Amino acid sequence: PDFYQLVAREQRQEKYKKSIIQGLSREKIIARLQELMEEEKIYRQFDLKLEDVAAMLLITPHQLSEFVNDCLGMNFASYIHQYRVGEAKELLISQPEENTLNIAFQVGFGSKQSFNKIFKQLTGLTPSEYRKQVQNQLSSQNL
């Protein structure tokens, strides 16, 4: 067991020695990335690519990929999906008359199928089920 731990530790050290995000300001990258997502809402672009966001951050796509994986603990697509589903949840409740397809397009999904699939992965419910559940909770609180 000690041998395997030693090998694993050496591999981790080697990984960080080769890290291309070493020397970059993680705080600056995360602050700008949050600004792009939360203020500029770039995740609404349905064809948003890793390369596009990397260019906005003035880093390489590989650096952005490594940064999101290492610092945020997820891949780039999952990071974008979190923002899209977060806004979709808000819109499903604040705009009950709006159909789910329009909301999917508003938040950056390219199809209803991908919207439903990703939404269910992240929430455990389809968008329609989520809307009904929250509306039921709100109406029972008002009684």
Cβ neighbours of residue 15 closer than 8 Å, sequence gap 6 or more: none
pLDDT value of position 6 = 72
pLDDT value of position 121 = 97
Give the Å distances, CA to CA, from 131 to 31, 62, 90, 121, 142: 32, 38, 10, 16, 17
Give the Å distances, CA to CA, from 104 to 18, 43, 59, 141: 39, 12, 29, 28
For the record, the structure tokens of 15 come out as: 């990984």
pLDDT value of position 17 = 43
CA distance linking residue 115 with residue 113, whole number of Å: 5
Q: How confident is the model at residue 4 (pLDDT cuts 50, 70, 90)?
A: confident
Q: What mean pLDDT is predicted for residues 48-52?
A: 97
What are the pLDDT digits (tens) for 75-111? 999 999 999 999 999 999 999 999 999 999 999 999 9
Are residues 117 and 127 in contact, defined by beta-carbon separation less than 8 angstroms?
Answer: no
